[in-house]
């Protein structure tokens, strides 16, 4: 496979740098250097500069990450086991990246929530998409829509919180604990539904 085009290289470099270092700490010159692209090409493809590039990253990386998580959740028939496996895969990937690459949206969401309305809205919409997709996934095992949505929120919150704790401690265990906790929440919800 050939090298991505200039726009693609800029997008890829920005995604990695924003995910690892955050929005404020990532400069356009560094993105251009990492992308092996002329500095002016950033403004050619993203006339709105850094903000437009970050919004593009959020709106492309966020849904792609959500699809990857759902694919992991569908990797085994037992839903509780698939939750454990998905969180374990996240723990393994984070450790393999030396705790630098976590969720593509979480790093930016924490940073821009009170300082950049365009990026806040983009991150909020991605989280909303994730919760919607996860609600549908949990709904396959839990008939009560509110319970499925609560499990979806819990999964996203546990994943994001566990990423933060794992990165800070440089330890994958918070992600593994979160996966086991989510599996137990799902088992409890299924058990309660069976009692009704």
Per-residue pLDDT tens over the stretch 56-80: 999 999 999 999 999 999 999 999 9
pTM for this entry: 0.89
Per-residue pLDDT tens over the stretch 174-183: 999 999 999 9
Mean pLDDT of the chain: 93
Does residue 195 surpass a pLDDT of 70? no
- The answer to whether the CB of 129 falls within 8 A of the CB of 63 is yes
118-127: list long-range contacts, CB under 8 Å, 24+ apart: 118/51, 118/55, 119/23, 119/51, 119/54, 119/55, 119/58, 122/55, 122/58, 122/59, 122/62, 123/58, 123/62, 125/59, 126/58, 126/59, 126/62, 126/63, 126/66, 127/156
* Average confidence (pLDDT) over 118-138: 97
CATH number of this structure's domain 50-195: 1.10.357.10
What are the structure tokens assigned to 70, written together?
């759902």
Closest by Cα among 101, 137, 122 to 53: 122
Per-residue pLDDT tens over the stretch 11-40: 999 999 998 888 999 999 999 999 999 999
């Amino acid at each position: 496979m050939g090298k991505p085009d200039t726009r693609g290289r800029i997008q890829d470099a920005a995604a990695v740098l924003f995910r690892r270092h955050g929005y404020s700490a990532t400069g356009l010159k560094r993105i251009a250097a990492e992308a092996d692209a002329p500095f002016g090409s950033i403004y050619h493809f993203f006339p709105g500069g850094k903000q437009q590039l970050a919004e593009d990253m959020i709106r492309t990386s966020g849904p792609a990450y959500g699809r990857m998580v759902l694919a992991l959740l569908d990797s085994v028939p037992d839903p509780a086991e698939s939750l454990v496996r998905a969180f374990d895969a996240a723990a393994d990937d984070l450790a393999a990246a030396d705790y630098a690459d976590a969720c593509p949206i979480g790093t930016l969401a924490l940073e821009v929530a009170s300082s950049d309305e365009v990026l806040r809205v983009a991150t909020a919409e991605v989280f909303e998409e994730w919760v919607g997709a996860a609600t549908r996934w949990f709904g396959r095992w839990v008939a009560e829509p509110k319970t499925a949505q609560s499990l979806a929120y819990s999964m996203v919150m546990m994943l994001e919180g566990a990423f933060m704790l794992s990165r800070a401690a440089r330890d994958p265990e918070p992600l593994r604990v979160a996966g086991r906790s989510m599996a137990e929440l799902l088992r409890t919800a299924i058990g309660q539904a069976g009692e009704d």
